[in-house]
């Protein structure tokens, strides 16, 4: 198999672990097409991945999400080695990376096809930007501590107006991230659903709406047009304004994540979330 490796500069700044993993892969007969220390965001030349069968990230969930964004149109499966704290999306821990990579080299794994969502930012009736996310799309106020009022619609029906910290629209993959921290439910990562969760709304009731994958979520920022807000997709922030309309739906894009049979989802959930890795 042919691998390309990417290490988070903040987790492996000198590339020592990157070299260690590269050396191990070569020792078992694997080919390393490319290895690199990366920073979040920015341009990435996908031609470096030519002939790559699998991408390995060294970092946490943010590193894997970042590389999923950078390589999303290649169709190359990704797997992460966790160098962070929880690292829920990463399938491999630093302590057992040799065993797990040997299993992958012997093709003892499956591919988990993960749905993504897309957001169209509409201003004065014109789409000014479109983004896609594997994990979640989050609308918040730019200034920390300020609330934002957002009206939500599902499949054209008005749901409610939330005045609070914002709203999270999550994929099943992202259900164990910010969405869960905001009080939302955990979903099977291969489900075909979209979750809509308000963040700390200033109201007596709040709930997550779970809709079918072919549903449409519309979020209207009910603020003056000079008010700055953020749209974040997989942790990448983009400025939007009051009166913008965010239209969110399932994307045609599918991200392939490696699923190692020794690490089923619910076992991972118990070990990494409930017991915080203990």
Among all residues, which ones are annotated catalytic? 61
Quote the CA–CA distance of 194 and 212 in Å, as a whole number. 6
SS3 state at 174 = helix
Tally of CB atoms within 10 A around 153: 16
| Lookup: tokens for 6 | 């990417």
At 62, give phi and psi (nearest 5°).
Answer: -60, -35
- How would you classify the pairing of strands 2-8 and 54-59? parallel
Q: Which residues pair with 240 in a beta bridge?
A: 229
- Give me the torsion for CA of 13, 96, 114, 152, rounded to 10°: -60
């Amino acid at each position: 198999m042919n691998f390309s490796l990417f290490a988070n500069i903040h987790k492996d700044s000198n590339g020592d672990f990157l070299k260690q993993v590269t050396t191990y892969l070569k020792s078992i007969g694997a080919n390393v097409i490319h290895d690199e220390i990366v920073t979040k965001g920015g341009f990435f030349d996908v031609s470096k991945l030519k002939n790559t069968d699998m991408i390995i990230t060294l970092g946490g969930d943010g590193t894997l999400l970042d590389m999923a964004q950078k390589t999303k149109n290649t169709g190359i499966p990704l797997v992460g080695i966790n160098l962070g704290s929880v690292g829920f999306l990463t399938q491999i821990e630093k302590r057992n990376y040799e065993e797990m990579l040997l299993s992958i080299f012997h093709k003892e794994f499956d591919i988990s096809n993960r749905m993504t969502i897309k957001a169209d930012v509409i201003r004065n009736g014109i789409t000014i930007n479109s983004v896609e996310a594997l994990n979640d799309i989050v609308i918040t106020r730019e200034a920390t501590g300020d609330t934002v009022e957002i009206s939500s619609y599902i499949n054209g029906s008005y749901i409610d107006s939330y005045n609070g910290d914002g709203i999270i629209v999550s994929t099943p993959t992202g259900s164990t991230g910010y969405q869960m921290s905001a009080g939302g439910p955990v979903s099977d990562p291969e489900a075909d659903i979209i979750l809509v969760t308000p963040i700390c709304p200033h109201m007596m009731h709040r709930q997550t709406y779970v809709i079918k994958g072919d549903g449409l979520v519309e979020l209207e920022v009910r603020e003056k047009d000079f008010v700055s807000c953020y749209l974040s997709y997989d942790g990448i922030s983009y400025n939007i304004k009051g009166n913008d309309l965010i239209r969110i739906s399932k994307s045609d894009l599918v991200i392939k994540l490696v699923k190692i049979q020794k690490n089923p989802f619910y076992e991972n959930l118990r070990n990494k979330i409930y017991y915080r890795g203990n």
